[in-house]
Amino acid sequence: MQYLSTRTPDHRVSLSTALQNGLAPDGGLYVPEHFPDLGPEAFDGCETIEAVAERLLRPFVDGDVLAEALPEICEAMYGFPVPLREIGRQTSVLELFHGPTAAFKDVGARFLADSLARLNEEADRPLTILVATSGDTGAAVASAFWKKPNVEVVVLYPKGKVSDRQERQLTGWSDNVQTVAVRGVFDDCQMLVKEAFQEDTWQERLRLSSANSINIGRLLPQMTYYAYASLQHWRSHGTCPNVIVPSGNLGNGLACLYARECGLPIGEVIFATNENRPVTHYLETGDYEAFETQETLATAMDVGDPSNMERLRHHWSSAEALRDAMGAERVTDDQIERQLRRGPEAWDTVWDPHTATAVEVREHRDPDDEHEWILVATAHPAKFPKGVEPLVGHEVDVPGPLAEVMARSHPVPEVAPSLQAVADVVFEDRTPESKEHT
Ligand SMILES: *Cc1c(COP(=O)(O)O)cnc(C)c1O
C-alpha cells in the first residue's frame, strides 16, 4: 500500500515515510491509495481487538518495513479493553476511554509511538517529537512515547489554560518526556512549535518530528475500534449498526468511514458536533467555510477549521457525495448540559461533555425505530469534574491509570512565550554528557 497526498495525487510514499513526514511536502495530508476489500468473513477467527486490528491493518502496512512487526505493534497499541455496552432502547455505547489517559486518542498515539521508535532503532540520534497541546493530545502523546527507546518528546502547554486534572496529566512524566509550561495561550505554543521547525539551530541539534492528529499514523489504528465493534454487533445481531461519533477535527469519525469503506458492517455514520459549525454548514450549503473557533463545554471538539475536512473532500469530492456517506448534527451547550444531568436516570450512565453530544443526536431519532445505534464515548467523565459533577450531583471516580499519572505529577519549568526561553530549557537538558544517560 502506498499513501498519496491530497494535493498532489501522484506524490506517493510508503507508510513509514508518511508516518515520519506527518504532513506531505506540498502541505497536503496523506491518504491511502485504495481501501482493501474486507467483509465480515475476512475476520473469521479474529476474536480479540488485537487480532481484528492485525487483520484490518495488514493491507495498510503491506510492503512497508513495518509489516513484519505488525503483530507486536497491535499488541502494544491496546492492552486495555474496548467494551461495547448495551444500554437499552436499541442503543449501545462503545467506550473508548479505558486507555492510560482516559480518552480515545491513546490508541492512535500508541501506534505512532511504537512505529516511530521501531523506525529509529538504527538512528545515531534520537528523534524528538515536539507537540503543542491544549490538553488531551499532549497527554496521550506523552504517555505513548514515555520510555520508548530512540524517541524523545517535548510537550508545550499554556500555563493556567488547561484544567487542573489535565495539567497533572501533562506533568506526570519524566525520562524521555519533557514538559514545559508556557506563559501564554495555546496559539502561542503552536506558534513556538512552528518556529522551532523553521529554526536551523533546532534542526541541527535535534531531529525534529511531530505527532499531530493529522498524521495518518493516528488515523489508521482508530479504524480498529469500528471494525471490532461492528463485527461484535454483526456476529450477535446479523445487522449493520448505525454509529454516532462526537467530532471536532474529524479524525475519529473519518476512521469510522474508512472502516466502512473496507467492507465492515457499518450502517449510517453521523458526526455529532458542538456549536462549531464548519461541517454542518458544508453539508447544508455545499460551500466550505472556516469559522472562528467557538468555546463550548465539549472543549476537545472546539475546532473552527477541521484539518480532516481536506481528507473528507478528497475521498468524497462534492457535498452531495459526502452527504450520501455521512450525516452531521450540531449540539448546543444547553443540550449537552441537559444530557449530562439526565444521563444517570435516562441511560443509567454518567456521560462526559463530548459523549453527551452523541446521546443528544441519538435522541433526535425515534427511540423506537428499529435500527441499532452505537454511541461513541470518547472520554471518561472523570476528566471533566467541573463540568460534570455539579450536574450529576456526585463525585465521579477517577479510573486507575489516570490516577497513577496524576499522582506522579511534579513541577515543570515555566517559561516566557519565546523560542529562546524554550530553547534554554530544552537544550540545557540535552548536553552531550547528559544524553548518554538517557
Ligand atoms: C479529540 C477529541 C474529540 C474529537 O475527535 P476528532 O478526531 O478531533 O474529531 C472528541 N472527544 C474527545 C474527548 C477528544 O479528546
pLDDT digits (tens, 9 = 90+) for 2-38: 999 999 988 899 999 999 988 888 989 999 999 999 9
In whole angstroms, give the CA distance from residue 310 to residue 31: 10
The whole-number pLDDT of residue 368 equals: 74
As a CATH number, domain 71-104+216-392 is 3.40.50.1100
Cα torsion 16, 17, 19, 20: sign: positive
Cα angle 44-47-48, degrees, rounded to a multiple of 5 = 140
Higher pLDDT, 189 or 329: 329
Please, which pLDDT band fits residue 190 given cuts at 50, 70 and 90? confident
Higher pLDDT, 62 or 434: 62
CB of 210 within 6 A of ligand 1: the answer is no
Q: Residue 265: pLDDT above 70?
A: yes
Q: Residue 156: pLDDT above 80?
A: yes
CB of 252 within 6 A of ligand 1: the answer is yes
Q: Give the residue-averaged pLDDT of 416-435.
A: 81
What percent of the chain is helix, strand and coil (3-state, nearest 5)?
45, 15, 40
The answer to whether the beta carbons of residues 263 and 38 sit under 8 Å apart is: yes
| Cell numbers at 27, concatenated | 502541505
- Residues 209-248 have pLDDT tens digits of 888 778 999 999 999 999 999 999 999 999 999 999 999 9
In whole angstroms, give the CA distance from residue 347 to residue 110: 31
The whole-number pLDDT of residue 432 equals: 55
Total residues found in the chain within this entry: 438
Q: Give the residue-averaged pLDDT of 396-415.
A: 94
151 strand-pairing partners:
127
Q: Residue 77: pLDDT above 90?
A: yes
Average pLDDT, the chain: 93
Q: Residue 436: pLDDT above 60?
A: no
The whole-number pLDDT of residue 431 equals: 61
In whole angstroms, give the CA distance from residue 267 to residue 252: 16
Q: Residue 174: pLDDT above 70?
A: yes
CB of 95 within 6 A of ligand 1: the answer is no
In whole angstroms, give the CA distance from residue 92 to residue 362: 11
Please, which pLDDT band fits residue 438 given cuts at 50, 70 and 90? very low
Number of the ligand 1 atom closest to the C-alpha atom of 355:
11
Selection from 95, 78, 80 nearest residue 355 by Cα: 95
CB of 276 within 6 A of ligand 1: the answer is no
Residue of the nearest CA to atom 1 in ligand 1? 300
**Phi, psi torsion values for 380, nearest 5 degrees:** -80, 140
Residue of the nearest CA to atom 8 in ligand 1? 249
- Residues 145-155 have pLDDT tens digits of 999 999 999 99
Higher pLDDT, 163 or 88: 88
153 strand-pairing partners:
129, 177
Q: Residue 63: pLDDT above 90?
A: yes
Q: Residue 380: pLDDT above 70?
A: yes
Number of the ligand 1 atom closest to the C-alpha atom of 249:
8
Number of the ligand 1 atom closest to the C-alpha atom of 306:
8
The domains of the chain are located at 71-104+216-392
Q: How far apart are the first and last CA of the chain?
A: 35
The answer to whether the beta carbons of residues 375 and 92 sit under 8 Å apart is: yes
CB of 327 within 6 A of ligand 1: the answer is no
Q: Residue 363: pLDDT above 80?
A: yes
Residue of the nearest CA to atom 14 in ligand 1? 300
The whole-number pLDDT of residue 32 equals: 98
The whole-number pLDDT of residue 430 equals: 74
The whole-number pLDDT of residue 437 equals: 42
- Residue 53, SS3 per DSSP: helix
